Amino acid sequence: MPTLEPVIGLEIHIQLKTKSKMFCGCATHDSAVAPNTNICPICLGHPGTLPVPNEQAVRSAILIGLALNCEIASHSKFDRKNYFYPDLPKGYQISQFDLPVAAHGHLTVSVPGPGGRTSVRIDITRAHLEEDAAKNLHHAETGKTYVDYNRGGTPLVEIVTEPDFTSPAQAKAFLQELRLIARYLNISDADMEKGHLRCDANISMRQRDAAGAIVGPRFHPKTEIKNLNSFKHVERALEYEIQRQTKLWESDAPPAESTTRGWDDVKQKTVEQRTKEGSADYRYFPEPDIPPLELTALAEELRSQIPELPAARRARFIDEYGLRPEDAAQICEDKALSEFTEQAFSELHAWLKALPELDDVQDEIMDKEKTRIAKLFAGWLLSKLGGLLADRGMAYKIMMPGKAGSGYAGKITPENFAEFITLIATGKLSSKSGLAVLGKMLDDGDDPSHIMEDLKLGKMEDAGALADIIDRLLANHPEEVARYQAGKTELLQLFIGLVLKETEGTADPKLTANILKVKLES
């Protein structure tokens, strides 16, 4: 009995972070700009105007192409994509057809699943430049549609994948990784909720026999799902469409033609919109007002400017710093936070190498110490500091570390955070006191050693003073002392806890235990 499998491909539009539009000098808009403010005769398509390509947009398209392992075209051109709709005042969109900036690439993503994470390679068909359309605003009360041309002409790069996805989870993981790459390249903020990253998903089904061979045609008529403005919407829409198309196949009535459907998040279903157009319907022809682009020299220049990308950084943080994969992934979700981590670990490793007790030790001992430090670091950065930020209604601020007068997460610098982890790791600062110190660091920006001194939160190292406290506590608990001396030695933990409570966590637990044993057993 043949089994059905989904065949999914994505078409993704990334709004590029440029100051001006794709073919004119109008500013790219934000949500605070009044409608139809950032417009000019060029982006409104007035007769006699001439478009001029935005160089920064071309550079951004090449960068994303290189990051996706694409071949960069030596010769590229723009084309007119003809269709009539109110959001295109010219009656056509300037896009690219047969000679895109980049093609034939791939991206490998890690996909979570019931049996753990698996790596999936997705081939990239093309990445090309085009201008965005205007925004239609539908007024429910009047039934009228208004058009805001501010967005019209904003530069986009469209990325088209091969139909290599076989599950909604794979599509979601790919989009999340692509968003992160765009942010690392600093070509887009890539926020789906703000429309910086928009996705249309194409899905069909096909049959495979028991041996895994495809039964019948490799591809069947596909359904394009639009209006997907979040990762959850992509996943849910694809899950719904798989169920809908599976029922059609099981009733011997599979989709007979390609259609376009919209995602209705309220009803949690896709809704048919129209029959899907083919490329012939758009009557592409070369844009006569823009000369072809020669990209070889520019591609070679930009190839050396590609920064370390998220996957490589995650792998390096695991290998070099000893971070757990899940911690490295969470840190690298934010480029600035990963750079903060980089600087802090540089300080920490310098401290680790300087420890006299680790001179000439075996490699496995050094590795264990590195793993311990990495676990401490991630726990305090992601859990403890994250909790303090949440309590204050704050988030990790994107303030690039290393610049004069700047820090990260409020006023905490990488150097101060590394010093803080050192104090925790060496036992000079307890976990309980550490939270108080970290809170003061977050609020005031002072270094942890000064805060410890001001708040008297350092470890109590005066054995005489500690012995006096222990004498007083033992005198106040004669029954427990008698029970210990009668053989209930597990009561030692009770006494240690009483001492730590009395000293507000500043007493050294090992020193406390040694003094207690001497006094209880003498």
Q: How far is CA 36 from CA 27, 31, 93, 134, in A?
A: 12, 12, 19, 10
Band of pLDDT at residue 113, cut at 50, 70 and 90: confident
Residue 446: its pLDDT value, please? 87
Domains and their CATH numbers in the chain = 3-303 (no CATH), 310-455 (no CATH), 463-521 (1.10.10)
Instruction: With beta carbons less than 8 A apart as the criterion, state whether 237 and 227 touch.
Output: no
Residue 9: its pLDDT value, please? 98
For the chain, the average pLDDT equals 88
Q: Is residue 266 pLDDT above 50, yes or no? A: yes
Residue 351: its pLDDT value, please? 75
Residue 411: its pLDDT value, please? 79
Instruction: With beta carbons less than 8 A apart as the criterion, state whether 273 and 261 touch.
Output: yes
Burial class (CB in 10 A: 0-12, 13-18, 19+), 417: buried
SS3 category, 486:
coil
Q: Is residue 26 pLDDT above 50, yes or no? A: yes
Segment holding 134, helix H or strand E: none
More confident residue, 402 or 238: 238
Q: Is residue 208 pLDDT above 60, yes or no? A: yes
Cα–Cα distance, 288 to 334 (Å, whole number): 42
Q: What is the mean pLDDT of residues 488-509?
A: 79
Band of pLDDT at residue 485, cut at 50, 70 and 90: confident
Q: Angle at which helices 55-67 and 168-185 pack, to 10 degrees?
A: 130
Instruction: With beta carbons less than 8 A apart as the criterion, state whether 298 and 290 touch.
Output: no
**Closest-CA residue to 389 (of 417, 410, 375):** 410
Band of pLDDT at residue 399, cut at 50, 70 and 90: very low
Which tens digits make up the pLDDT trace of 285-337?
A: 999 999 999 999 999 999 999 999 999 999 999 999 999 999 999 999 999 89
Cα–Cα distance, 155 to 333 (Å, whole number): 25
Q: What is the mean pLDDT of residues 453-469?
A: 72
Segment holding 171, helix H or strand E: helix 168-185
Least confident of 15-24, 130-139, 316-325, 450-459: 450-459
Q: Angle at which helices 448-455 and 414-425 pack, to 10 degrees?
A: 60
Which tens digits make up the pLDDT trace of 331-355?
A: 999 998 999 999 999 988 877 666 6
Residue 430: its pLDDT value, please? 80
- Calculate what percentage of the chain has a pLDDT beyond 70: 92
The structure's pTM equals: 0.85
Instruction: With beta carbons less than 8 A apart as the criterion, state whether 9 and 202 touch.
Output: yes
More confident residue, 517 or 23: 23
Which tens digits make up the pLDDT trace of 422-437?
A: 988 887 888 878 998 9
Residue 33: its pLDDT value, please? 83
What string of DSSP letters covers 376-432? HHHIIIIIIHHHHHHHTT-------TTSTT--BTTTB-HHHHHHHHHHHHTTSS-HH
Segment holding 90, helix H or strand E: none
Q: Is residue 358 pLDDT above 70, yes or no? A: no
Residue 478: its pLDDT value, please? 87
**Closest-CA residue to 157 (of 29, 35, 22):** 22
Residue 495: its pLDDT value, please? 82
Residue 165: its pLDDT value, please? 97
Q: What is the mean pLDDT of residues 511-518?
A: 83
Q: Is residue 166 pLDDT above 60, yes or no? A: yes
Q: What is the mean pLDDT of residues 118-129?
A: 97
Q: What is the mean pLDDT of residues 448-462?
A: 75
What string of DSSP letters covers 13-55? EEE---SB-SSSSPBPP-TTSPTT-S--TTTTT-TT------H
How, if at all, do strands 269-275 and 75-76 pair? unpaired
Instruction: With beta carbons less than 8 A apart as the criterion, state whether 299 and 306 touch.
Output: no
- Calculate what percentage of the chain has a pLDDT beyond 90: 61
**Closest-CA residue to 60 (of 369, 299, 361, 242):** 299
Residue 30: its pLDDT value, please? 66
**Closest-CA residue to 128 (of 207, 65, 171, 185):** 65
